[in-house]
Structure 1
Amino acid sequence: MITLNAMSQKDYDTYLSTAVTDYAGEKIKAGTWTEQLAFQRASEEYQILLPNGIETPDNYFYRIDHNETKVGVIWIAKSTDNPETAFIYDLQILKQYQDQGFGKQALKLAGDEALKIGFKNMALHVFGSNKRAIHVYRESGFKVTDINMEKKLSKE
């Protein structure tokens, strides 16, 4: 059985130790940031979003557990665009637990938690190259609201 459990400070520290680097890597892969600036920009964004770390108001961090074994993490927060919307900043399922339905189950539980907190909607961002996540989100009822697109320019 999947459960969401509030992260401890130790869980948060472990999460943060890889989250900034992972985010920087995704921004590089997407072509949004250069390698030279990615880690610095990712660090700055996390500092802006989480000035008080795990204690930052309106941010909710959970371990995703399966039978008391950690299989992932999820971070939701009050949307900066709409206070009635919970925004999923991060959902990670550990590699060895992927493709077992844990992401979909975690999204359902996160929605239940968001309702308990008082949110009416849930939103997220997904990198266009992340086909696995896009599939899970669509299967979980998320709809596309915005699409950013980019094209490499050449003189040909």
Structure 2
Amino acid sequence: MIRVVLGDDMQLIKMQLERFESWKIAAIKEFAKGKVENGEWSQTESYQLSEQELNTILPDGYQTPQHYFYEMMVDDQIVGNIWATITDEVPTTAYILDIGVYPDFQDLGYGSTALKLLALEAKKLQCQAVKRHVFGKNKRAIHVYQKIGFEMTDIEMVMKL
């Protein structure tokens, strides 16, 4: 899974090792932010917990087997990234762990295109589905996923007291 092209607009290219660490720091911050906004973690503990969780998922970092890190490239410019895995538990499903389009490139359809590209690549790897967890408050992301064909499979709800 190195290079996938859809039309002339975007390519998913394998993330280079030297860019992995800066991506990892941003991913930890973003996940921590989501957990705080969702009311699951406090602000003070969120970064540490997020870092622990990422290190558990990626015990060998960039070299962790069955984890795929891509950058979205448009006209020789990186506009975002996407991270997916295929586990032994569900080898027929690619699971998107992180996707992000950089702020200057949002609302241009790049996230949707990257999802479609990833689906094509997952199909080549014999996957029958692509899954993604989305925080309930992230209405924008939910809309994008539904627009390109994702369906809700589980809904977890909470009533704060």
What is the TM-score of this pair, normalised by structure 2? 0.91
Answer with 108-117 or 76-85: which moved more: 76-85
Cα distance in 2 between the residues matched to 1:50 and 1:134: 26
For the residue of structure 2 that corresponds to 1:133, the secondary structure is: helix
How far does residue 2 in structure 1 lie from its aligned partner after superposition?
0.6
Percent identity reads 37
What is residue 133 of structure 1 aligned with on the other side? 141
The answer to whether structure 1 residue 10 and structure 2 residue 18 are counterparts is yes
How many residue pairs match? The answer is 153
The answer to whether structure 1 residue 28 and structure 2 residue 57 are counterparts is no
Cα distance in 1 between the residues matched to 2:52 and 2:128: 29
Deviating 4+ runs (over 4 angstroms): none
How far does residue 80 in structure 1 lie from its aligned partner after superposition?
6.4
Cα distance in 2 between the residues matched to 1:141 and 1:2: 20
Task: Name which of 42, 54, 63 aligns with 1:46.
Answer: 54
How far does residue 79 in structure 1 lie from its aligned partner after superposition?
4.2
The answer to whether structure 1 residue 83 and structure 2 residue 87 are counterparts is no
- Residue type of the partner of 1:41? L
Q: 1:127 to 1:37 in 2, by over 3 A?
A: same
The answer to whether structure 1 residue 62 and structure 2 residue 62 are counterparts is no
5+ unaligned residues in a row in structure 2: which ranges? 1-8
How far does residue 64 in structure 1 lie from its aligned partner after superposition?
0.5
5+ unaligned residues in a row in structure 1: which ranges? none
For the residue of structure 2 that corresponds to 1:33, the secondary structure is: coil
Kindly report the root-mean-square deviation, in angstroms, between the aligned alpha carbons of the 2 structures: 1.1
Q: 1:4 to 1:85 in 2, by over 3 A?
A: same
Matches within 5 A, 1:87-106: 87-106=95-114
Per-residue CA deviations over 1:35-72 (Å, capped at 9, x if unaligned) read 22211211111011001111100100000011110010
